[in-house]
């Protein structure tokens, strides 16, 4: 059988679009997995940024309240925007974003405890992840010295 008749038989069977169909079948799950990976990456970088925000606010409160009997958030973090600016992926102007710091002093042991809490809203883009995290991302740190 000649190669010309073999190509005629393949053409006659209608196999011209098989590679296009295979690409379409593979491309849809691939694009979905790519978007899901980017969405999870966005979640993890936001969670890490909230953790960094809490660390920076706690560090600022320790430095600015060291040796004081009472210290509130206004004196612990003189300008909260400075702390928010240290975290590149978060914005303090987002509705639902909050950062609080408080200090307690134990007169019996003479120790101080600084509690810092940050909450940041987060929503997934893909509907497959929608029900996982409905309350946003929250981080609390207690530092005792």
Tell me, yes or no, whether 56 lies in a domain: yes
Domain-embedded: residue 80? yes
The reported pLDDT for the residue numbered 88 is 80
User: Quick check: is 5 in a domain?
Assistant: no
User: What is the domain extent for residue 55?
Assistant: 18-144
Count: domains in the chain: 1
Q: Tell whether 73 is covered by a domain.
A: yes
Listed as own residue / partner, the contacts of 41-44 with beta carbons closer than 8 Å and 24 or more positions apart are 42/125, 43/122, 43/124, 43/129, 43/133, 43/137
Distances (CA, A) of 112 to 41, 59, 76, 104, 145: 37, 14, 13, 6, 5
pTM of the model: 0.73
Per-residue pLDDT of the chain (145 residues; tens, 9 = 90+): 555 556 555 555 666 678 888 888 899 899 988 988 898 898 899 999 999 988 888 888 887 766 666 666 555 665 567 788 888 888 878 888 888 888 777 788 878 788 888 889 888 887 777 667 667 888 998 888 7
| Strands in 82-136 per DSSP E | 98-106, 111-120
Residue 43 lies in a domain: yes
The pLDDT of residue 30: 92
In a domain, 1, yes or no: no
Is 48 a domain residue? Answer: yes
Q: Looking at the domain assignment, is residue 8 inside a domain? A: no
């Amino acid at each position: 059988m000649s190669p010309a008749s073999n190509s005629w038989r393949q053409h006659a069977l209608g196999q011209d679009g098989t590679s296009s169909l295979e690409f379409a079948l593979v491309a849809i799950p691939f694009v979905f997995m790519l978007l899901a990976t980017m969405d999870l990456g966005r979640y993890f970088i936001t969670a890490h940024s909230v953790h960094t925000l809490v660390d920076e606010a706690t560090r600022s409160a320790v430095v600015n309240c060291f040796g004081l009997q009472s210290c509130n958030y206004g004196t612990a973090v003189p300008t909260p925007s400075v702390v928010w600016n240290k975290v590149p992926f978060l914005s303090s102007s987002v509705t639902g974003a909050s950062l609080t710091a408080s200090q307690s002093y134990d007169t019996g042991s003479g120790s101080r405890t600084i509690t810092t809490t940050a909450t940041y809203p987060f929503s997934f883009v893909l509907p497959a992840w929608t029900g996982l995290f409905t309350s946003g991302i929250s981080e609390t740190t207690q530092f005792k010295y």
